[in-house]
Amino acid sequence: MTKKKEVDPVFMLDFISSIEDPRIDRTKKHSLETIMIIAICAVICGAKSWNEIEVYGTLKLEFLSKFLNLENGVPSHDTFRRFFMILMPNSLQDFFTNWVSSFNKDEVKQICIDGKTLRGSKRKGDRTIHVINAYATGLGVSLGQLKTDKKSNEITAIPELLDSLDIKDTIVSVDALNCQTEIADKIVSKGGDYLFCVKSNQEKLHSRIEERFEKYEQRGQKNKSESFEEKEN
């Protein structure tokens, strides 16, 4: 079972301060830090809606008050929703990338890269959102992600995502779609190792691998047969 990374809200404050607050000063009732930390802790604990984030804040009021100024209480679910609607996505992405990068590198032994299409993300006239995610199995957290227009764009987007990650002495695994020379070269150039899934979409490579395994299987069967004959004699 993967051991999840323990979250230190106080340590997180150092990184949250780098986010540009999109709100007008005179309309602020709750600080940027208050909204961000409650939302992040709530989501880590399983919250899936703005209402559930507010409920989490209310239930954990005593704990949160130890490091947050909650003299105005817990932000309402509408406040959380409005704030994240106007927060620049790149600003949030940079925060998470910098925060996660501060984790102990020794715990990151393998990074799994995979793309997922987000359900319910399609809007009239727009494409469905497809996101590539880099997941650190040892930490149980995502190290970074990148949005693409469609699944077929993963091949060109993954090298860009890898550029933002420290993968030295780390195994990077991808699915069969992304078993590409360019991606392998990028991983090796950054000091990492790769573990690729190979299927029939790479017909020549797939056949060569099958032939190699068949050769070793035949050699193994021959050795077993010779060993058995020696024992009989």
Query: To which residue do tokens 């209310």 refer?
Result: 58
pLDDT at residue 1 greater than cutoff 60: no
Instruction: Find all residues with CB under 8 Å of 176, minimum gap 6, and list them.
Output: 196, 197, 198, 199, 201, 202
The reply to whether the predicted model has a pTM over 0.75 is no
189-204, pLDDT tens digit by residue?
999 999 998 888 888 8
Which is nearest to 131 in space by CA: 109, 112, 154?
154
What mean pLDDT, rounded, does the chain reach? 84
The upper half-sphere exposure of residue 137, i.e. CA atoms within 13 Å in the direction of its Cβ, equals: 11
Q: Give the C-alpha separation, 123 to 119, whole Å.
A: 11
Q: Which helix (H) or strand (E) holds 111?
A: strand 110-117
Contacts 24+ apart (CB under 8 A), 205-209: 205/179
pLDDT at residue 233 greater than cutoff 70: no
114-154, pLDDT tens digit by residue?
888 776 555 665 667 888 999 988 778 888 888 887 666 88
pLDDT at residue 172 greater than cutoff 90: yes
Backbone angles phi, psi at 111, to 5 degrees: -120, 120
Which is nearest to 101 in space by CA: 195, 18, 1, 193?
18
Cβ-count burial of 173 within 10 angstroms (0-12 exposed, 13-18 middle, 19+ buried)?
middle
Q: Are 36 and 44 in contact (CB under 8 A)?
A: no
